[in-house]
Amino acid sequence: MSDAKRRDNKGRVLHVGEAQMEDGRYMYRYKDPYGKRKTVYSWRLTSGDPTPSGKRKEVSLREKIREIENNIKRGMYTTDMTVCELVEKYLTTKTGVAYSTRQGYQFVQNLLAKESFGQRKIVEVKTSDAKIFLIQLQESGKGYSTVCTVRGVLRPAFQMAADDDMIIKNPFQFELHTVVVNDSVKRDAITREQERKFLEFIEKDPHYSQFYDAIFILFKTGLRISEFCGLTIKDVDFRKNVLRVNHQLQRTSKMEYICAPPKTECGNRNIPMKPEVVEAFKRIIKNRPKPKVEPIINGYTGFLFLDKNGMPKVSQHWQKCFQLILQKYNNTYRVQLPKITPHVCRHTCCTNYAKSGMNPKILQYIMGHADVSVTLDTYTHIKEEDAKEEMERLGLLNVKEA
């Protein structure tokens, strides 16, 4: 056997895996820890070699080889996996999620597929790259909530890659507020006076009065709109005067109806009903149209609110209803009402209970929140007049100085 060693055109001995191509460029072939064959190239074999005329200056082949070997020793396996491929792999681990959550995942995948960032190799993404990507998303017109959604998928996806030793550190491990501006509009509760005017207008309106009881219930129970839409006759317990919440109704983009568990486990709850809420439910059930065929969705039937086709109303119906009522109100009166949606009803209910001094843990249960901090920090809106009213009630503003 010949013991002659392979050499380059300068007579230098080439190591195992190294070779020189006919055009003079060097290449190195190897297998990554996953058994996938890889190749890197350079116009220079060592750092001391000059760059050929007309060629782009780059790291020498042996410097690239040392970086590959060091990365493998440190657990940073060289991989061609792109950001899109990583997200796809991560999402295969997310099973049993709600339909709305799956829709959010699909949105992020579609967005990344259109962005050049989605095609980048994950081993090349640095923390600065991650920050710049999120900043560019916001500058391109994406809202803060959208940026939060995207980052909410990328952060755990890259953490999975770090845990699998595919990368050394998670480039998205930073506080979002330090990078992008929270320009989202805060969803404030309306005042008691605004709530009263809105409900009185609905009650007296010849057309929209048919929705009064339903909207009154939304203001007084704090139900999520999907929970409200999923209510059936059996969920209203007139014997104990409680409202049983154990599912929510949604309609997919393919017009498929789904009854799913509440947003969180704490969403399963029995809400005590005030007498006026009880009476509102009685009127709704009494006036409920009788469809030719009762719709059955995932075993649930007897839905309280049906559309003209005899199918359960979904959130889009009520969003449009609120929009039209508010538009008519503001076209009628000089003093305008702020934007009111089914979710504003939920905020308002929670805030009113908090102002009334309800125990935070009880309020948490009624709202179906998994964390009491959500109840107190997100869904209650205490303002200057509220603070003044409370201090007056306690007599703190009536104390005269000695």
Transcribe 99-151 into DSSP letters. Answer: HHHHHHHHHHHHHHHHSGGGGSBGGG--HHHHHHHHHHHHHTT--HHHHHHHH
Q: Which of 25, 89, 343, 355 is catalytic?
A: 343
Look at the block and give the residue holding tokens 């998205």. Answer: 172
Q: What angle do CA 57, 61, 62 make, to 5 degrees?
A: 130
Q: Which of 346, 347, 353, 381 is catalytic?
A: 346
Q: What is the pLDDT of residue 264?
A: 74
Say how far apart CA 153 and CA 102 lie, in whole Å: 11
Say how far apart CA 343 and CA 325 lie, in whole Å: 15
Read off the pTM. 0.64
Q: Which residues of 313-323 are buried (b: 16+ CB within 10 A; e: fewer)?
A: bbbebbeebbe
- The H or E element containing residue 66 is helix 61-73
The reply to whether 224 belongs to the active site is: yes
CA 368 to chain centre: 18
Q: Which of 12, 38, 155, 263 is catalytic?
A: 263
Q: Which of 220, 251, 379, 381 is catalytic?
A: 379
Closest CA to 148 of 189, 177, 121: 177
Q: What is the pLDDT of residue 199?
A: 98
Cβ atoms within 10 Å of 401's Cβ, excluding its own: 3
Task: Give me 385's structure tokens.
Answer: 């007049």
Q: What is the pLDDT of residue 1?
A: 42
CA 200 to chain centre: 35
Q: What is the pLDDT of residue 401?
A: 45
Bridge partners, residue 243, by sequence: 236, 271
Task: Give me 293's structure tokens.
Answer: 């065929």
Helix, strand, or coil (residue 216): helix
Bridge partners, residue 42, by sequence: 26
The reply to whether 334 belongs to the active site is: no
* Fold of the domain built from segment(s) 192-386: hpI Integrase; Chain A (1.10.443)
Task: Give me 247's structure tokens.
Answer: 């599912």
Is residue 244 within 8 A of residue 302, CB to CB? The reply is no
The reply to whether 346 belongs to the active site is: yes
Say how far apart CA 330 and CA 335 lie, in whole Å: 7
End-to-end, the C-alpha distance of the chain in Å comes to 110
Is residue 50 within 8 A of residue 69, CB to CB? The reply is no
The reply to whether 15 belongs to the active site is: no
Q: What is the pLDDT of residue 373?
A: 65
Say how far apart CA 263 and CA 98 lie, in whole Å: 8
Q: Which of 224, 247, 251, 347 is catalytic?
A: 224
Alpha helices in 288-398 (DSSP H): 315-332, 342-355, 360-367, 372-377, 384-393
Q: What is the pLDDT of residue 266?
A: 83
Domain ranges of the chain: 18-73, 83-178, 192-386
Is residue 248 within 8 A of residue 263, CB to CB? The reply is yes
Say how far apart CA 8 and CA 26 lie, in whole Å: 9
- The H or E element containing residue 19 is strand 18-20
CATH code for residues 83-178:
1.10.150.130
The DSSP call for residue 265 is G
Q: Which of 44, 247, 369, 381 is catalytic?
A: 369
The reply to whether 343 belongs to the active site is: yes
Task: Give me 164's structure tokens.
Answer: 């699998």
Residue by residue, pLDDT tens for the chain (402 residues) are: 445 678 999 999 999 999 999 999 999 998 877 677 889 999 999 999 999 999 988 899 999 999 888 877 765 555 678 999 999 999 999 987 777 788 889 999 999 999 999 999 998 899 999 999 999 999 999 988 899 999 999 999 999 998 887 888 899 999 998 899 887 656 678 999 999 999 999 999 999 999 999 999 999 999 999 999 999 999 999 999 999 999 999 998 788 999 988 877 888 999 999 999 999 999 999 999 889 999 999 999 999 999 999 999 999 999 999 999 999 999 999 999 999 999 999 999 998 988 888 888 898 999 888 776 666 665 555 555 666 666 666 666 654 544
CATH architecture of 18-73: 2-Layer Sandwich (3.30)
Say how far apart CA 74 and CA 167 lie, in whole Å: 9
Cβ neighbourhood burial of 304 (10 Å; 0-12, 13-18, 19+): buried
Q: What is the pLDDT of residue 98?
A: 74
